[in-house]
Amino acid sequence: MKTIITAIIGVVIAITLVALYTRYLGGKTGATVTSWWRTPWRNAEVGGRGGSLHVLGWAVDLVPASPDIEEAARAVGFPVVVNEGNHIHAAWWQS
């Protein structure tokens, strides 16, 4: 039971931090968050990879893709920032 409670607390903290970071990024860079938390079913619908961090709420997609948004995402603490052409994918770690 303690493990489940710890996991839930960790997920809530992670989702809260990602929400704060993406709100900051949008305000600072003019970026729009196009994808954040997804159900496994929605992840499959949009062609997301199995094990996607979006399913945990630990990754975001931002548009427009630009070096400014990449730099800002790294500055607020996202260690993984990938320009995927039409958007920036930012995550807490590589999935």
- Residue 95: is it exposed, middle or buried by C-beta count within 10 angstroms (0-12/13-18/19+)? middle
Q: Give the residue numbers spanning the domain of 66.
A: 2-91
The most confident of the ranges 8-12, 28-32, 72-76 is: 72-76
Spatial distance between the Cα atoms of 55 and 43, rounded to a whole number of angstroms: 7
CATH number of the domain that residue 71 is part of: 3.30.1380.10
User: Residue length, the chain?
Assistant: 95
How many domains are contained in the chain?
1
Query: Token pair 């590589």 is at which residue?
Result: 94
SS (H, E, C) 2-45: HHHHHHHHHHHHHHHHHHHHHHHHHHHHCCEEEECCCCHHHHHH
Percentage of the chain surpassing pLDDT 90? 15
How much helix, strand and coil, in percent to the nearest 5, is found in the chain?
50, 20, 35
pLDDT tens figures, 42-85: 999 999 888 888 888 888 898 887 888 888 888 888 889 999 99
